[in-house]
Structure 1
Amino acid sequence: MANRLECVDVGTEYCPCYLAELNECIVCSQLQGKKFCDCNWKGVCVFQEFVWAGYKAKVTRSTVFTRILKKEEINEEVVILTLKVPNKLARDLNEPGAYVFVRGYFSPSFFDTPMSVMWADEIEGIIKIAIQVTGPKTKFIASAKEGEEVYLRGPYWNGMFGQRYIKGMHNSKALVVLRGIAQAPGVIVILKLIQNKNKVIVLLDKGKVQTNFIKDYIKNSDVTLVEADLLSEEGQEVLKQFIKDKKISVIYSGGSDEQHINILEYMDKYESEAYLAVSNNNKICCGEGICGSCEIEIDGQKMRTCKVQVDIRKMLERKMSRG
């Protein structure tokens, strides 16, 4: 029997989505073509919402013009853009795992590039994104100038797995391990943990971007910042000592899948009972669960990882087995 999947969009204004029209809903058994209700959703019935919407998808995410208020060239590889957005969109994006699709004003739609949100201010109506220039899409966005407009589509939320552990952790101790450009989405994770009155240890590695560019965003008395090279023996020793700490209740890994696996192996070795949350490193193209570029298979069950909160251990063990 297939496991019931958890969709990050269920219960939001964007549910039911296009998948419901195609009998491909992630949550609702009746919108999967079955004749009976067999879901584990405790909110308003997704099928009923579909009926109320006239058997169509509800509100779809729109593409809006946003203006670049500020452009910070951190180094040759990293650029931080401050974008003016509607206040509601900024509020929706002020969540761990939030991301948007961005493209230049004169670019066609296939230039849409998923970008994690680093910072959101719903009062001012601004967001910040950090761009690592790695190819044509990111190069084109990074070349934009202050005052220019770009297209932005969102909000999307499945940029991390294990969201419930980050959002649900209160009055505890957390370890956040960030490397390279994955520092950017780690800022909102850290701020959420602080908001929930957690003490946070942040282990930062410059990685390929050669700079720890988020330090000014996470200055707080509840944050202990440690900088280390995670690929060195010294860095690995520092990581081991933190994972050995039995008081740590949740660990977030922002970085490569190899980093996630490294942390999971130490957790097993030192019998850590902490919850593990990780950045979503799967390829994302449409964000709507339609194109299939983000799809993976676990225990014979296909999962669209732009929408589904997957079992982290099974996902990583699947990657380990493929070597």
Structure 2
Amino acid sequence: MYEVKNCIDAGSEYCPCHLAKTGECIICSQLSGKSFCDCKNWKGTCILQEYHRNGNKPKSQRRTYNGTVIEKVYEDSGILKLKIKSSISLIKGLKRLGSFVFLRSESSQEFYDCPISILKVDEEEEAIVVAIEIRGIKTKTIEGINEKEDILIRGPFWNGIFGVKKLSELSNDKVIVMGRGIGIAPLIPVLKDLLRRNNKVFLILDSGEFKKDIFDGELSFFQGERGHIKVFDNGELSKELNECLLDLINTQGYSHIHISGPDILAYNVTKEYKNSLTLSCSNNAKMCCGEGVCGSCSSRYSGHIVKRLCKVQCEPNNLFEGRRLI
């Protein structure tokens, strides 16, 4: 199946980026080593021309903003919610579906940057709310920041969802939204956006190792149907989940599913239901720079194809097909 390549930053104020300088632009054929013009996905502006206009160099990339932690709450033994006040220009840039930022303490070096999805944007307070699962050295360092102390925020970044184009076009449709564990946090903006466009949503939640009601406060606005279902059984989709999905698809006419959880969940749902539903899912790639340079997010596919998943916008079908696991 032919795959139309897309870049989340193409045509934005951050394009052309550092990949153009090294001949690895995702969209522009001439800035990726070819001698003719063959844009893979026209974005309304010529990236090559923008590169020349900018003195044959990349445009300025995301900046690091100062922020202040105005609220710090522990919701579970491993979940921390932070409300962070920062620049209104940054806050407005985080209203897009799939938005995320890199966070670190003022005393840490840049390689401590930790990518975190946005749970809520509050323009009135000029603040964002994030939920962090405390796991390793980066998140533990962020945990050490107290209320009224400063925090560094780099952004805005937008590639937190694969299949975001289809997701953002859904209107007056029937959509299944599924979240597991910490993945429930970034599905909340998705849920609000779908309801705003008059979609009927069935919500499937699996709190995983956390307590069942961990995000009930943030989900209080949702009055539609929901089911608390254990989605895994010995590494495979559970019988209860399959029965629920088959009923929603075949009996009730649901046509799209958004999955916010681990890759193994998105992979299994994609494998089983790609012919019955259109799909979108969360981006779980490991990231460090977010600009396609460090290689942390790179995945290799058959045919010597490398996708920098911090920038490349994939459909879930193409995200897993032909992917090398070793």
Mark yes or no: TM-score above 0.5: yes
Tell me, yes or no, if the aligned pair for 1:161 and 1:280 is still in contact at 8 Å: yes
1:289 to 269, 289, 292: 292
Provide, for residues 105-125 of structure 1, a one-character-per-residue CA deviation record: whole Å limited to 9, x for no partner: 211111111111111123331
Provide, for residues 87-109 of structure 1, a one-character-per-residue CA deviation record: whole Å limited to 9, x for no partner: 22112111221111001121111
Taking a change above 3 Å as real, the CA distance of residues 303 and 322 of structure 1, as seen in their structure-2 partners, is closer
Query: Which residue of the partner structure matches residue 283 of structure 2?
Result: 280
Tell me, yes or no, if the aligned pair for 1:78 and 1:133 is still in contact at 8 Å: yes
Q: Tell me if 1:13 matches 2:13.
A: yes
Q: Secondary structure at the match of 1:68?
A: strand
Query: Which residue of the partner structure matches residue 215 of structure 1?
Result: 216
Deviation of 1:236 (Å): 4.5
Deviation of 1:311 (Å): 3.5
Tell me, yes or no, if the aligned pair for 1:79 and 1:131 is still in contact at 8 Å: yes
Tell me, yes or no, if the aligned pair for 2:83 and 2:128 is still in contact at 8 Å: yes
Runs of 5+ in structure 1 lacking a partner? Answer: none
Query: Which residue of the partner structure matches residue 194 of structure 2?
Result: 193
Q: Tell me if 1:264 matches 2:258.
A: no
Residue correspondence of structure 1 range 40-55 to structure 2 within 5 A: 40-55=41-56
Bigger Cα displacement from structure 2, 219-228 vs 274-283: 219-228
Query: Which residue of the partner structure matches residue 255 of structure 2?
Result: 249
2:318 to 309, 314, 318: 314
2:301 to 291, 294, 298: 298
Q: Tell me if 1:111 matches 2:117.
A: no
Residue correspondence of structure 1 range 168-207 to structure 2 within 5 A: 168-207=169-208
Bigger Cα displacement from structure 2, 89-98 vs 243-252: 243-252
Counterparts of 1:102 and 1:309, CA distance in 2:
23
Deviation of 1:130 (Å): 0.4
Counterparts of 2:193 and 2:317, CA distance in 1:
23
Tell me, yes or no, if the aligned pair for 1:243 and 1:266 is still in contact at 8 Å: no
Counterparts of 1:322 and 1:141, CA distance in 2:
31
Q: Secondary structure at the match of 1:241?
A: helix
TM-score of the superposed pair, with normalisation by structure 2: 0.91
Tell me, yes or no, if the aligned pair for 2:98 and 2:159 is still in contact at 8 Å: yes
Counterparts of 1:4 and 1:240, CA distance in 2:
30
Provide, for residues 64-105 of structure 1, a one-character-per-residue CA deviation record: whole Å limited to 9, x for no partner: 110001111101100100011222211211122111100112
Deviation of 1:235 (Å): 4.3
Counterparts of 2:144 and 2:162, CA distance in 1:
31
Amino acid of the structure 2 residue aligned with 1:12: S
Identical aligned residues as a percent: 37
Deviation of 1:245 (Å): 4.5
Q: Number of residue pairs matched?
A: 318
Counterparts of 2:215 and 2:38, CA distance in 1:
44
Tell me, yes or no, if the aligned pair for 1:298 and 1:314 is still in contact at 8 Å: no
Tell me, yes or no, if the aligned pair for 1:204 and 1:228 is still in contact at 8 Å: yes
TM-score of the superposed pair, with normalisation by structure 1: 0.92
Residue correspondence of structure 1 range 83-232 to structure 2 within 5 A: 83-220=84-221, 223-231=224-232
Bigger Cα displacement from structure 2, 167-176 vs 243-252: 243-252
Q: Secondary structure at the match of 1:277?
A: strand
Deviation of 1:243 (Å): 4.1
Counterparts of 2:208 and 2:217, CA distance in 1:
18
Tell me, yes or no, if the aligned pair for 1:4 and 1:27 is still in contact at 8 Å: no
Deviation of 1:4 (Å): 4.8
Counterparts of 2:325 and 2:45, CA distance in 1:
40
Taking a change above 3 Å as real, the CA distance of residues 122 and 51 of structure 1, as seen in their structure-2 partners, is farther
Runs of 5+ in structure 2 lacking a partner? Answer: 234-238
Q: Secondary structure at the match of 1:191?
A: helix
Q: Secondary structure at the match of 1:216?
A: coil
Query: Which residue of the partner structure matches residue 22 of structure 1?
Result: 22
Taking a change above 3 Å as real, the CA distance of residues 245 and 261 of structure 1, as seen in their structure-2 partners, is farther
Counterparts of 1:236 and 1:34, CA distance in 2:
46
Tell me, yes or no, if the aligned pair for 1:169 and 1:193 is still in contact at 8 Å: yes
Taking a change above 3 Å as real, the CA distance of residues 222 and 30 of structure 1, as seen in their structure-2 partners, is farther
Counterparts of 2:183 and 2:57, CA distance in 1:
36
